[in-house]
Amino acid sequence: MRSSNVLAFRAGVVAALTSVALCATAFALDVGGVRVEEKIKVANQDLVLNGSGIRYAAAGLIRVYVASLYLPQKRTTSAEIGALKGPRRMHLNLLREVNSNDFSKGLLGGMRANLPPVEQQKHFDALLKLGAIFGQIPSLKKGETITVDSIPGTGTVILVNGKKVGEAFPDETFFQALLQIWLGPKPIEDSLKPVLLGVNPSNDNSINNSRDRF
């Protein structure tokens, strides 16, 4: 093979490999320094990223976690999400260490703030069970993950670092109740709600990462 042909062949190979690499990374976003996949599978069904944003504390001065909502089809309201059939996922990537007891209290407080009394009573036992699950974990470290899956025929499943913790919550409406923490009328983070609903592209208010060095 002549040298000019060799160079052309090598250039073609490099271009092809570059194209493959770009395709492999085309379905991932960077949110708060966390790699967020735009497409995943839950219970053998394809889900798409509806939105991914940051949960803040201390009036926006501290990043707590990146929340990512996955659905069978994109939706822009909580009611539309509740009407969807098939699996759904809320995935949290921790950006700092969190006391699991405080985290659990935050979840329970968020549900109480967003669910009417009838709904709170309906899910009372599930709320106690949820608190007990996180009560068994001393702390949640920076970089760890919490996943909440809604799986038809199974219910709501909690995973920490990809491993199932506790038993499934069989009432499939419990997942939608949990979502109200982030998507209800009094969401735990005002700036996060429109991002998870796909209305706003981002709520990253940082100029640099110095605030996250704990």
* AA identity, residue 168: A
Only one residue has tokens 């491993």, namely 163
- Let me know if 98 is exposed, middle or buried by CB neighbors in 10 A (0-12, 13-18, 19+): buried
Which pTM value belongs to this model?
0.84
The rounded mean pLDDT for the chain is: 87
Tokens representing 134 are: 């996180």
CA nearest neighbour of 65 among 189, 194, 210: 189
CATH architecture of 32-212: 3-Layer(bba) Sandwich (3.50)
**Ordered DSSP codes for 97-124:** -EEHHHHHHHHHHHHHHHS-HHHHHHTH
Percent of residues, the chain, with pLDDT higher than 90: 71
pLDDT on residue 214 = 35
